[in-house]
A and B are shown apart, each in its own frame.
Chain A
Amino acid sequence: VPVPLDDSHEFTEEDLRFAERYLRTHYDLRPNPTGIMKKSANTMASKLREMQAFFGLEVTGKLDEETYELMQKPRCGVPDVGE
């Protein structure tokens, strides 16, 4: 899973899939089955930045422990951004 990672934490593949699903559900990350480079606005890194900015976390564009911990919290299913 092409998730930019912060080297502070070991994430399992399942963690990464969860993070990808989270960004798809709440930050309008589009699937990219072909793996061809997407427009920069829809990369995983840009969506991570969007989420980190929304929650007032340090904006790194990388999945770090704090961002992942926040993804675990129970929440509303309506997206935070987008249509």
Chain B
Amino acid sequence: YNFFPRKLKWSKTNLTYRIMSYTSDLRRAEVERAFKRAFKVWSDVTPLNFTRIRSGTADIMISFGTKEHGDFYPFDGPSGLLAHAFPPGPDYGGDAHFDDDETWSNDSRGYNLFLVAAHEFGHSLGLEHSRDPGALMFPIYTYTGKSGFVLPDDDVQGIQELYGAGDRDPNPKHPKTPEKCAADLSIDAVTKLRGEMLVFKDRFFWRLHPQMVEAELVLIKSFWPELPNKIDAAYENPIKDLVFMFKGKKVWALNGYDIVEGFPKKINEMGFPKEMKRIDAVVHIDDTGKTLFFTGNKYWSYDEETEVMDTGYPKFIEDEFAGIGDRVDAVYQRNGYLYFFNGPLQFEYSIWSKRIVRILHTNSLFWC
């Protein structure tokens, strides 16, 4: 989290706001509700109170405008710049402006007014942009889904450094952004994708380029808004140029940014028994054309060509991959080795000699 120069903040906790104009994209009541919820994001975690006034000058004046709209910081038509706000202070200080060339919504269409307003009001209160891709104050818009919004921890830390903590936080568990070099790092899933490697954790995935040491952390929903957070497993079928992602009893097929029509499907349509609850990990082995699915202490083998489960499965993991433990978080294959992840450890298993040849930290995936 960052602050504006001189750490600008309001010297009072009771602030007023006034809605000076509306967008025709939403009903007035929807606009008012979006702004009220957006202010509540910040009042929930601080002593701040926000009161709406309907006349006179409020601390935070809110309006919709297009292109040059009176403050010499013009908007730019559809997309691009969505809104802006001024740091705490007199006159324009705290004011928030929304680009009415955008399509504003209260769901995933266009741009979600609540989400953008919550971000802009963070500026109105003294927060500058954060480098944390999981933060509300990250400068780029990402629709974070229908389920209840919870202010990420990075934003909570920032606003509480300015105003202190409140005493009425309804959701004290604020999502943190994972640290790739944390000694106890565990991961949810890993897959290759057109030469890159994607490592999934909570709401995020790291993009690992073969030539680069630095991994880029990205929100899953910034790439695939329809996908759930915290996926269970993922693998790439390079022949079909598809990546399959699993969560619970569902499977999604992705072709680049696009979700293949007809997905998500139920995993038992692939031949798993109906009572199968989830897939823990999955890996495609290029040489054999088989895909191995790990669930609990067992694993299945699926023939990609015939699209049928091989007979004789499931088998016990321990029988074939002795030593990797009876649970797999994630697994990928490279150069004749399988890399099984279990909590903070990964096991390098030689397919040829059928044994574990090395045990590494999970975070060594990121050269930590």
Contacts and interface: CB of A to CB of B under 8 A. Distances in A.
Contacts of B131: 54-56
B141 A73 contact: yes
Nearest to B142: A73
Given A56-B217, A58-B212, A75 B141 contact: yes
B128 A75 contact: no
A6 to B, nearest CB: 13
Q: Which size class do B's interface residues fall under?
A: 20 to 34
Contact of A77 (B84, B111, B214, B216): B84
B155 interface: no
A77 B141 CA distance: 11
A77 B83 contact: yes
Contacts of B85: 78
Given A56-B216, A58-B212, A83-B5, A74 B133 contact: no
A26 B139 CA distance: 10
B119 interface: yes
Contact of A78 (B123, B140, B217): B123
Interface in A39-83: 54-58, 70, 73-80, 83
B81 interface: yes
B120 interface: yes
Contacts of A79: 129
Given A70-B140, A73-B141, A83-B5, A78 B84 contact: yes
Contacts of A25: 81
Interface in B94-150: 99, 111, 116, 119-120, 123, 128-129, 131, 133, 139-141
The 6 closest A-B pairs by CB, nearest first: A77-B84, A77-B81, A74-B141, A73-B140, A75-B140, A80-B129
Interface of A: 25-26, 54-58, 70, 73-80, 83
